[in-house]
Amino acid sequence: MKRLLLIISILALVLTLVLLPIGCGIDVESMIRDNIEDALEGLSADYTIKVGGTEGLNFSGEYVVVSAAYDPETWVVFSSDSYDVTGNVSKQYTVEDVISVGGMFQKQAVNGTLEVEIWRGGDLIDSALTTVPWGAVLITAIEGD
């Protein structure tokens, strides 16, 4: 008798979970989309890459940003964009509402110091520097670092 009551209770629970959304007009897809969008919003941030070092030092580099958005067929779709940059120290590049960012920067000279930092808001996430002739640095940041 206890086994029958347990089976009936489980069956009632399953039917309630399956039929309740249908009978109550709950839009399950919208609920899923909203939860995924909320989660992605929590992972996204604004980042600033600061290129510094010896004043006037020439550099070149590339940075990549990764974004994510809700997709009804695959749940989440990721995209990335890369940017080639050149210039003289000091420069900064800001990206908004992205999941992660990373980059490689190289001195275009024998002498001097190249220092590159990634900031999320007021927090320093990663930094690297080189004094090596024609030296390069790699920096990365992923939300949650």
pLDDT band with cut points at 50, 70 and 90 for residue 19: low
Look at residue 119 and tell me whether its pLDDT is greater than 80.
yes
Can you name the CATH fold of 44-142?
Lipoxygenase-1 (2.60.60)
| Start-end of H helices in 24-138 | 28-43
Instruction: Give domain limits for the chain.
Output: 2-38, 44-142
Q: How far is CA 60 from CA 102, 105, 135, in A?
A: 14, 6, 11
Q: What is the pLDDT of residues 67-114, one digit of tens each?
A: 888 777 877 788 899 999 999 999 999 999 898 999 999 999 999 999
Q: Hey, which residues does 65 pair with through a beta bridge?
A: 81, 101
Please state the pTM of the whole predicted model. 0.75
pLDDT one-digit tens code per residue, 120-134: 988 999 999 999 999
pLDDT band at residue 145 under the 50/70/90 scheme = very low
> Is the model's pLDDT at 118 over the cut of 80?
yes
